[in-house]
Structure 1
Amino acid sequence: MSSLFDAELTQVIDRNIEYPKQIWYGLAIFLFVVGCFQWGSSLHSKFAKYQQQESDEESTSNNHIHYKFSLRRIPFAFINIYRVVAFRWTLEIGQTYTLNIAEIFVTLGYIALLYTYTFINTTSLDGQKADILYWSSRAARVAASQIPLVAALGTKNNIVSLVTGISYDKLNYIHRMMARTCFTLLCVHGASEASSYPYFRLSLNDQWLRSGMTAIAALFALIIVSLRPIRQEAYEVFFYTHFISVLIFLVGAYHHTAEYNASFWIWPSIVIWGLDRFIRMVRLVVFNHSYFGFKSGSGTMDGTTELLSENLVRLRLSRPPHFHWSPGQTAYLIMPSVSTLPFEAHPFTIASFDSSLIQTTVPEDQSNS
Structure 2
Amino acid sequence: MDLMSDMPMGSMSMASGAPSLLTMQKMYWAVVGSAIGLATIVNLLNWILARHRLRDTSLTPAKPKSLFFGIYATITAIVREVGHATLHPLTVGSHTIHFPPLGPVLIMLANLITILVLCFYKLDTLDVWQWENIGYSTGCIAICQLPLIFLLAGRQNIIGFLAGMSYASLNWYHRWAARTLWLTSTIHMCFWFRDWGRYDYIAYELVNDDLTKRGFAAWCLLTCILITSVRPIRGLSYEVFVLQHLVTFIGFIVAVWMHVPNEVRVYLWIPIGLLVFDRLARYIGGAYLNLALFHRQTDGKTGQRLWTHSATFAPMPGNVTRVTIPNPGMHWQPGQHVFLTCHSLAPFQCHPFTIASLPEDQRLDFYIRAKTGATRRLFRFASKNDDNLGPPTAAAVSQDQTVFIEGPYGAVRPLRQFDSVVLLAGGTGATFTVPLLRDLVSGWNKDSRGETSRVSRSVKRLAATKRIRFVWVIKSRAQLGLFESQLQAALADVAECQLRQPDGGREVEISIYITCDERLEVPHPVSTNAPPASSTVVTEEAPNLSETNGFDEKDNISVRSLSAGSLSSSAAPAMAGRGCLPGGGCCCTTQIMDEDQIDTCTCKCSGPVPVPAANSGVGGANEQTMKSSEPPTPLPIALPIFAGRPHPRTIIRKVLEKAEGESAVVVCGPQGLSDDVRRSVVSLSDERAVHKGTGAQGIYLHIESFGY
Superposition TM-score tier, normalisation by shorter sequence: 0.7 to 0.9
Partner of 2:268: 266
- Pair 1:238 & 2:237 matched: no
Partner of 2:191: 192
Q: How far is the alpha carbon of 1:130 from its aligned partner?
A: 9.2
1:17-44 Cα offsets, whole Å, 9 max, x none, are 2111101001101110111011211221
- Choose between structure 1 and 2: higher helix proportion: 1
Q: 1:249 aligns with which of 244, 248, 252?
A: 252
Compared CA separation, residues 185 and 238, structure 1 to 2 (3 A):
same
Partner of 1:355: 360
Compared CA separation, residues 288 and 66, structure 1 to 2 (3 A):
closer
- Read off the aligned partner of 1:81 and give its amino acid letter: A
Partner of 2:326: 318
2:149 and 2:203 mapped to 1: Cα distance? Answer: 31
1:77 and 1:146 mapped to 2: Cα distance? Answer: 34
Q: Superposition pairs for residues 7-156 of structure 1, below 5 Å?
A: 10-11=13-14, 15-51=20-56, 54-55=57-58, 70=65, 72=67, 74-82=70-78, 84-86=80-82, 88-92=84-88, 94=90, 95=96, 97-123=98-124, 128=127, 131-156=130-155
Compared CA separation, residues 311 and 140, structure 1 to 2 (3 A):
farther
TM-score by length of 1: 0.81
CA contact (8 A) 2:86 2:102 kept: yes
CA contact (8 A) 2:132 2:191 kept: no
1:264-318 Cα offsets, whole Å, 9 max, x none, are 2212211211121111100001112218899738485111334557785432222
Partner of 1:214: 217
1:2-60 Cα offsets, whole Å, 9 max, x none, are xxxxxx96235953221111010011011101110112112211221222xx447xxxx
2:274 and 2:86 mapped to 1: Cα distance? Answer: 33
1:131 and 1:262 mapped to 2: Cα distance? Answer: 22
SS at match of 2:99: strand
Compared CA separation, residues 256 and 301, structure 1 to 2 (3 A):
same
CA contact (8 A) 2:64 2:70 kept: no
State which structure, 1 or 2, has the greater radius of gyration over its C-alpha atoms: 2
- Choose between structure 1 and 2: higher strand proportion: 2
Compared CA separation, residues 11 and 89, structure 1 to 2 (3 A):
closer
Partner of 2:340: 333
- Pair 1:289 & 2:297 matched: no
Compared CA separation, residues 67 and 123, structure 1 to 2 (3 A):
closer
Q: How far is the alpha carbon of 1:87 from its aligned partner?
A: 5.0
- Read off the aligned partner of 1:340 and give its amino acid letter: P
Compared CA separation, residues 140 and 309, structure 1 to 2 (3 A):
farther
1:311 and 1:251 mapped to 2: Cα distance? Answer: 45
Compared CA separation, residues 331 and 192, structure 1 to 2 (3 A):
same
1:308 and 1:86 mapped to 2: Cα distance? Answer: 41
- Pair 1:157 & 2:153 matched: no
SS at match of 2:100: strand
Q: How far is the alpha carbon of 1:170 from its aligned partner?
A: 0.7
SS at match of 1:213: helix
CA contact (8 A) 2:155 2:167 kept: yes
Aligned residues: 342
Identity of matched residues, %: 22
TM-score by length of 2: 0.44
Does 350-359 or 26-35 show the bigger shift? 350-359
1:117 and 1:246 mapped to 2: Cα distance? Answer: 26
Partner of 2:177: 178
SS at match of 1:352: coil
CA contact (8 A) 1:16 1:141 kept: yes
Compared CA separation, residues 269 and 312, structure 1 to 2 (3 A):
farther
1:68 and 1:116 mapped to 2: Cα distance? Answer: 42
Q: What residue ranges of structure 1 are gaps of 5+ in the alignment?
A: 1-7, 57-64, 365-369
Q: How far is the alpha carbon of 1:195 from its aligned partner?
A: 2.8
1:293 and 1:325 mapped to 2: Cα distance? Answer: 16
2:188 and 2:138 mapped to 1: Cα distance? Answer: 6
Compared CA separation, residues 175 and 79, structure 1 to 2 (3 A):
same
Q: How far is the alpha carbon of 1:225 from its aligned partner?
A: 1.1
Q: How far is the alpha carbon of 1:67 from its aligned partner?
A: 12
2:105 and 2:285 mapped to 1: Cα distance? Answer: 34
Q: How far is the alpha carbon of 1:129 from its aligned partner?
A: 8.7
1:67 and 1:137 mapped to 2: Cα distance? Answer: 53
CA contact (8 A) 1:85 1:101 kept: no
CA contact (8 A) 2:218 2:252 kept: yes
CA contact (8 A) 1:139 1:186 kept: yes
Q: CA RMSD in A?
A: 3.4
2:156 and 2:54 mapped to 1: Cα distance? Answer: 29
- Read off the aligned partner of 1:206 and give its amino acid letter: D
CA contact (8 A) 2:134 2:191 kept: no
1:332 and 1:355 mapped to 2: Cα distance? Answer: 21
1:85 and 1:138 mapped to 2: Cα distance? Answer: 37
Q: How far is the alpha carbon of 1:133 from its aligned partner?
A: 2.7
1:66 and 1:279 mapped to 2: Cα distance? Answer: 39
1:327 and 1:101 mapped to 2: Cα distance? Answer: 28
CA contact (8 A) 1:215 1:249 kept: yes
CA contact (8 A) 1:122 1:130 kept: no
